[in-house]
Amino acid sequence: MLRLRACGWGLKRIARQLGCSHPTVKGYVAAGGVKAFKSPERPKRLDGLDGWLRERLIGIAAMPTWCARTIRGASGRMGA
């Protein structure tokens, strides 16, 4: 695309010749070649809970073994 553009071809002519849309050609030419894909930033379920989670996990890690066993119960899982 860049070579055709350097030869003086228009965006629509390049798009027709290569079988793609002219906005695609425009994007490639503006970027100077292939653009790296960037996934959209989406909010995560745990965003904003960093401090709360850190506080809870540090509390569990500092918990004595006998206390953790008591909370875990016979099943060996927390909260069960």
Residue whose entry in the numeric block shows the structure tokens 């099943």: 75
Considering the domain architecture, whether residues 49 and 72 belong to the same structural domain is answered as yes
Considering the domain architecture, whether residues 51 and 80 belong to the same structural domain is answered as yes
| CA 58/CA 56 separation, integer angstroms | 6
Helix, strand, or coil here: 3? helix
Structural domain includes residue 52: yes
Structural domain includes residue 56: yes
Quick one: tokens of 20?
């793609």
Residue 8: its pLDDT value, please? 95
Considering the domain architecture, whether residues 25 and 52 belong to the same structural domain is answered as no
Helix, strand, or coil here: 75? coil
Residue 28: its pLDDT value, please? 92
Q: Is the pTM of this model over 0.95?
A: no
Residue 27's domain spans which residues?
Answer: 2-31
| CA 65/CA 69 separation, integer angstroms | 6
- pLDDT of residue 32 exceeding 70: yes
Considering the domain architecture, whether residues 52 and 78 belong to the same structural domain is answered as yes
As for how many domains the chain has, the answer is 2
